[in-house]
Amino acid sequence: MSDAVLGTRIALVGNPNSGKTALFNALTGSRQKVANYPGVTVERKEGVVLTPAGRRVSVVDLPGTYSLRARSPDEAVTRDVVLGRLSGESAPEVLVCVADATNLRLVLRLVLELKSVGRPMVLALNMFDIAERQGIRIDLEGLSRALGIAVVTTVAVRRRGLADLLSKVDMLVGGQETAVASWHEPSAAEIRKAHREAEQIMRTYVRPPLRPDTWTGRLDSVLLHPVAGTAILMAILFLMFQAVFSWATPIMDMIDASFAWASQAVTQYVPPGLLQSFIADGLIAGVGSVVVFLPQILILFFFIILLEDFGYMARAAFLMDRLMGVAGLHGRAFIPLLSSFACAIPGIMAARVIDNKRDRLTTILVAPLTTCSARIPVYTLIISAFIPDRLVWGFANLQGLVMFGLYAAGISGALIVAFIVRKLIWRSASEPFLIELPAYKLPDAKNVMRGVLLRGQIFLKRAGTIIASMMVLIWFLSTFPSAPANAAQPAIDYSFAGMIGHFIHPLLAPIGFTWQMAVALIPGMAAREVAVGALGTVYAVSGNVDGTLAATLSHQWPLATALSFLVWYVFAPQCLSTLAVVRRETGGWLWPGVMFTYMLTLAYVASLIVFRLTTVLAG
């Protein structure tokens, strides 16, 4: 809808952790839509609210910031929207500055800066109930006079003060007293001056708490303790990934089963042929391969949003900053990377918590190197076929040891690549680590659920469309042209996928791959575990019965080929969905291209070394 239809637009601005999003949710309810700002990957959240005067007002929720000086893409969006610099968008008519009423010092300086923009403004003192409980006394009239703007109190999670806020907005929209816009990037001296002014206002109109929050300090003495805090973080993460794996698995199995049932139904009612194959193997399998990620994404984001709203994420970054710093990564990169052990897709989506663009890109680039759960079927198949099930050194199972080695190779690969990118290519490992540790707050169930559903919706809408169409493409490549009637080889061998496989086989021969493997890699791009089924297809044995396939492979492949294949799967970009999500998250094909190229190179070189070494040693 255009501005003309919606009429008035207001924007919510404020420090991070001020309850801005909770206020946005309370105001707009379910009438929200999320899009991306053009050209950048910052989310644009907009909703509609009716004011007491009956005005239809559209509300924009801007990324949290301490200043209009943009330091990250998120903050640049905040600045550009507030100043009306965004093309195709006029500046919002009213700014609503949202403040945590218990933590006013820094936001008052932001209010003074925002005033120089020259827009009508309301200051909403949010979480006012907590301020009252702590015995903070705020002289609202005095504060309003000193700042020269309207001040209201709100409790977003209890929907208190909303009508008051909106009627203030009504008043401001009516009046036309827009001051002269004089905003420019403040110098250090100007920031100091504004701080002193804010300090003065604080001292005059805000009485410090009689019963200050002691819980945050008490919790921090455990949660930030170098040893206990780290142990608790590990326990939380353990629980989180257990949940992602074990809670998601039954639902994922159910989704798999229902999509399998749907294909089955299609094969019963649609006559065999191209249409049947398209619906069952192309369309249904394509949509299924998107939906199957949803449980993991919802569970992971449930934990992430819960921890974020509780105030713990900044603590996790504090605890992990130094360890991640060894690889040139930011403390906040920890959660996205660990999430990638379940699946790189939610991991890459979770990299949004990193403000700095380069830090975020580095994290996204290395995320697919951590061993995701889709590699497990491939690893299990090859290990069971080639690695003897026996004890070494008296206690360690050799198969388990190889599995561990593959995980270790993935982790070290990710850390080394991150190190190389940050230390050698971008050489800017020194993005300052400077974060506020917000007071702990009980997360609000409604806001958490809304956030989780929003993530799921975004995934289905944005990544889902690409993933599904890629799956249809792979179906197309594996199906056309169809096999002749008296075909001696499996049908896939006559298809485009087969042709591509045969075509690239000479390139893969040096790393020990057979042509069947080269062919199987093409449908294997759909998802890593699909390679198991694809190998079954090209070797014309049932891919579902691992026993048969494993036995076939162990006769057909030398050990060197098997190890080379395993190493290939550690590093190779064998997952189109991941590339599709990277495209969505980075807003172009450049970064997926970089990722594809470096992972392919890495995989090829590593497989080559492993294949040659094993051939020499075993031969």
> Which residues touch 63 (CB under 8 Å, ≥6 apart)?
42, 74, 75, 77, 78
**Nearer residue to another protein within complex by CB, 132 or 170:** 132
| Among 16, 64, 74, 5, residue whose Cα is nearest residue 40 | 74
With binding defined as CB under 8 A, does residue 144 bind another protein? Answer: no
The strand pair at 391-392 and 396-397 is best described as antiparallel
* Least Cβ distance, residue 13 to another protein (angstroms): 14
With binding defined as CB under 8 A, does residue 433 bind another protein? Answer: yes
Q: How far, CA to CA in Å, does 157 sit from each of 127, 326, 423, 446, 542?
A: 8, 40, 44, 8, 55
287-316 footprint of another protein as x/- string (CB under 8 A): ---------------------------x--
* Least Cβ distance, residue 239 to another protein (angstroms): 21
With binding defined as CB under 8 A, does residue 253 bind another protein? Answer: no
State which of residues 156, 439, 492, 572 lies at the interface with another protein (CB under 8 A). 439
Q: How far apart are the first and last CA of the chain?
A: 70
CB count in 10 Å sphere of residue 619? 7
* Least Cβ distance, residue 226 to another protein (angstroms): 4
| Cα gap 490→478, rounded to integer Å | 11
Span from 192-200, 272-280, 485-493, 546-554 in contact with another protein (CB under 8 A):
192-200
> Which residues touch 196 (CB under 8 Å, ≥6 apart)?
none
Q: How many residues bind another protein (CB under 8 A)?
A: 47
Span from 125-133, 188-196, 399-407, 516-524 in contact with another protein (CB under 8 A):
188-196
Q: How far, CA to CA in Å, does 609 sit from each of 70, 406, 557, 612?
A: 46, 15, 17, 5
- SS (HEC) of 485-554: CCCCCCHHHHCHHHHHHHHHHHHHHHHCCCHHHHHHHCHHHCCCCHHHHHHHHHCCCCCCCHHHHHHHHH
CB count in 10 Å sphere of residue 415? 19
By CB under 8 A, the residues from 311 to 340 that bind another protein are 314, 317-319, 321-323
85-124 footprint of another protein as x/- string (CB under 8 A): ------------------xxxx--x---------------
Q: How many Å is the Cα radius of gyration of the chain?
A: 28
| Cα gap 528→570, rounded to integer Å | 10
Strand partners, 11: 60, 95
With binding defined as CB under 8 A, does residue 268 bind another protein? Answer: no
With binding defined as CB under 8 A, does residue 226 bind another protein? Answer: yes
* Least Cβ distance, residue 428 to another protein (angstroms): 3
State which of residues 219, 236, 435, 594 lies at the interface with another protein (CB under 8 A). 435
State which of residues 56, 137, 158, 192 lies at the interface with another protein (CB under 8 A). 192
**Nearer residue to another protein within complex by CB, 335 or 518:** 335
* Least Cβ distance, residue 107 to another protein (angstroms): 10
Interacting residue ranges for another protein, rule: CB under 8 A: 66-67, 69, 71, 103-106, 109, 186-188, 191-192, 195-196, 199, 208, 216-217, 220-221, 224-227, 230, 314, 317-319, 321-323, 426-428, 430-439
